[in-house]
Amino acid sequence: MDQFHRLLLDIWREACRHIEIERSTRTIARILTHRMPIERIVVSSFDFAQGLIVPRAIGLVDGDGVRLPPSEPLRPADRRLLQSWIRQQEVIQHEVGDEPHEVMRLLVGERVDGNWLAAPLASEHGAAGAMLLRATPPEAFTQSHVRMTEALIEPFSAALENDRRLHELNALREAAEADKRSALSRLGREDLVDSIVGRQGGLRAVMERVSLVARSDVPVLILGETGSGKEVIARAIHEQSPRSKAPFIRVNCGAIPPELIDSELFGHEKGAFTGATSSRRGWFERADEGTLLLDEVGELPLAAQVRLLRVLQEGTFERVGSERSLRVNVRIIAATHRDLPAMVQQGRFREDLWYRIAGFPIVLPPLRERKQDIPALTAHFAERAARRFGLKPCMPTEQDLALLTNYNWPGNIRELASVIDRAAILGEGEHLAIAQALGSPRPGPDNGLAGSSAPLPMTRRAAANPSAPLPTLEQAMRQHIETALTLTQGRIEGSRGAAKLLGINPHTLRSRMRKLGIDWDRFRQ
């Protein structure tokens, strides 16, 4: 191997060794001094969308620590000039006394002093920019130096692409962290992972089965009433599995319109249907190497069940509008409150799909069958409510726990969480107003409290206690919507949905929920 190719190999090695382009540029600048009279190398990227030249790295042969200059704005004419230069892939040389090239003026400044070389950088994946080399005064670059610079375009383009991806990844990470902090603030939580209250009590048998199945890839079917915490158990399986570092994605099969199921699950290509303005990855692709929770799988129409069965059997599918098969490695967990064997007998659920997803069933007991967990659950939700609403933490009294234990809990843990939220608000940080939050209790046929779990209407509450402060309109609206969601088990649309119950359009309801910060997931489990 001759010296030139050995040098080029060293440069490629340094360009690919470091993710940060600053380190690569500094090292390569020192390597090149053996072949070129270089004082410095400057690498900049072009942000054509924002109209900016953004300096990314400076490599000095002697010394470190020079600050990058600020970004420079681009006029539309400048943008077109640089784009044309990148397409031509032309190395521009400037020598003292020459009239500067317009590209050189943009990259160096109006006053171009010294001897320079400028090389365009571009990758197939979107990175675009320039590399500037300044000769050590009073040295000048020769034609062999120009050819050497041309050989540098490819490794520096790769380094610039790595830099672009790093900044993109950091931006996504920062956005995700901001979303996480916002979600935690709204929910009154310290983390997004639901703690499993009752793992040593009423859920002991369930957690034993979770431990047994978590390490394998056997499909799991979680059966339980609405609001019993099926998603929490699914997350526990994922967190204890070898896939814990990969994505966990929950898909509510009952909330997807039938005509969009294929697009949501498998993705689509640009132009596949009206409104498909760009390609989109489906939930199976997004969950690759991780876990996909198909919540309310019993709500899938028969046609979608056929396509789902193929993916589960073969691990392959096609995006809508594409003929190219994609392969994924996904662990499937299904959950439902439906009686799937009965649906199989009625022809509403495919028998072969039932056998495929029911590899390891886990039955989640309703709250009325694990009442020993109510004190711990109440304390957990009370602490969460205090953080969420900025109230003084209050714990339930023995009388409160007696009321909660005697209630039948048709809405299970989700209903309990809503009751504690209301009790914390009604108690204004002084106590938990459990009796008020449960409503007007009266004995029911099952020896539970058969009264409504909704709070008393505002007018009745004001008449009963005129001196009590009225909630704000926002608080009253939030409470009213949450009550409707509890009664409809999180369903928004349809004849049995919350929108119908409230007498408003479903889109209007969703908009108000977003404005009020209502967490829909609490009602959909």
> What is the chain's mean pLDDT, rounded?
83
Intervals of CATH 1.10.8.60 along the chain: 368-524
pLDDT the model gives residue 180 = 61
DSSP state of 55: E
H or E stretch at 249: strand 248-252
Q: Which long-range contacts (CB under 8 A, 24 or more apart) does 45-51 make?
A: 45/127, 45/128, 45/129, 45/160, 45/163, 45/164, 46/74, 46/82, 46/86, 46/128, 46/129, 46/130, 47/71, 48/74, 48/79, 48/82, 48/83, 48/128, 51/75, 51/76, 51/79
Q: Look at 444 and 380; give whichever has higher pLDDT.
A: 380
H-state helical runs in 188-228: 204-214
Buried b / exposed e over 57-78, threshold 16 CB at 10 Å, is: bbbbbeeeeeeeeeeeebeeeb
Q: Look at 36 and 194; give whichever has higher pLDDT.
A: 36
Q: Helix (H, G, I), strand (E, B), or coil: what is residue 318?
A: strand
Radius of gyration of the chain, Cα coordinates, nearest whole angstrom: 32
Q: Say how far apart CA 177 and CA 340 lie, in whole Å.
A: 39
- Contacts of residue 272, defined as CB under 8 A and 6 or more positions apart, other chains included, come to 263, 319, 320, 321, 322
Q: Is the dihedral of CA 83, 86, 87, 92 positive or negative?
A: positive
Question: Any idea which fold 204-364 has?
Answer: Rossmann fold (3.40.50)
Q: Say how far apart CA 335 and CA 221 lie, in whole Å.
A: 6
Amino acid of residue 187 = L
- Contacts of residue 235, defined as CB under 8 A and 6 or more positions apart, other chains included, come to 193, 194, 248
Q: Helix (H, G, I), strand (E, B), or coil: what is residue 226?
A: coil
Q: Look at 519 and 252; give whichever has higher pLDDT.
A: 252
Predicted confidence (pLDDT) at residue 113 exceeds the cutoff of 90? no
**In this structure, are residues 119 and 91 in contact, taking their beta carbons and an 8 Å threshold?**
yes
Q: Look at 456 and 486; give whichever has higher pLDDT.
A: 486
Q: Model's pTM, two decimal places?
A: 0.54
H or E stretch at 475: helix 473-487
Most confident of 5-9, 175-179, 359-363: 359-363
Q: Say how far apart CA 247 and CA 329 lie, in whole Å.
A: 12
Taking only the tens place, the pLDDT of each residue in 437-466 is: 887 333 344 434 333 334 444 444 444 455
Taking only the tens place, the pLDDT of each residue in 467-478 is: 555 667 777 788
Q: Which CATH architecture has domain 3-167?
A: 2-Layer Sandwich (3.30)
Residue 36's nearest CA partner among 151, 159, 148 is: 148
**In this structure, are residues 160 and 129 in contact, taking their beta carbons and an 8 Å threshold?**
yes
Quickly list DSSP for 344-376: HHTTSS-HHHHHHH-SEEEEPPPGGG-GGGHHH
In Å, what is the CA distance from 262 to each residue of 255, 267, 320, 354, 495? Answer: 13, 7, 7, 19, 25
Mean pLDDT in residue range 164-174:
79
Q: Taking phi first (over 0 means left), then psi (-120 to 50 degrees means alpha), and beta for anything else, what does residue 438 get?
A: alpha
Amino acid of residue 236 = A
Determine whether 384 is exposed, middle or buried from the number of CB atoms within 10 Å of its CB (0-12, 13-18, 19+). Answer: buried
Intervals of CATH 3.40.50.300 along the chain: 204-364
Q: Look at 111 and 132; give whichever has higher pLDDT.
A: 132
- Contacts of residue 46, defined as CB under 8 A and 6 or more positions apart, other chains included, come to 52, 53, 54, 74, 82, 86, 128, 129, 130
**In this structure, are residues 462 and 483 in contact, taking their beta carbons and an 8 Å threshold?**
no
Mean pLDDT in residue range 61-88:
82
Q: Say how far apart CA 155 and CA 409 lie, in whole Å.
A: 65
Taking only the tens place, the pLDDT of each residue in 253-267 is: 888 888 888 889 999
Helix pair angle (21-32, 3-17), 10° resolution? 160
% of the chain at pLDDT higher than 90: 37
Helix pair angle (374-389, 398-406), 10° resolution? 110
pLDDT the model gives residue 238 = 94
Taking only the tens place, the pLDDT of each residue in 8-39 is: 888 888 887 777 788 888 888 888 888 899 98
Mean pLDDT in residue range 143-162:
90
pLDDT band at 192 (very low <50, low <70, confident <90, very high): very low
Intervals of CATH 3.30.450.40 along the chain: 3-167
Mean pLDDT in residue range 83-100:
91
pLDDT the model gives residue 63 = 60
**In this structure, are residues 4 and 150 in contact, taking their beta carbons and an 8 Å threshold?**
no
Choosing among 1.20.120.50, 3.20.20.370, 3.30.450.70, 1.10.8.60, the CATH entry for 368-524 is 1.10.8.60
pLDDT the model gives residue 186 = 54
pLDDT the model gives residue 456 = 40
Mean pLDDT in residue range 299-320:
90
Taking only the tens place, the pLDDT of each residue in 197-248 is: 767 778 889 999 999 999 999 999 999 998 888 999 999 999 999 999 999 9
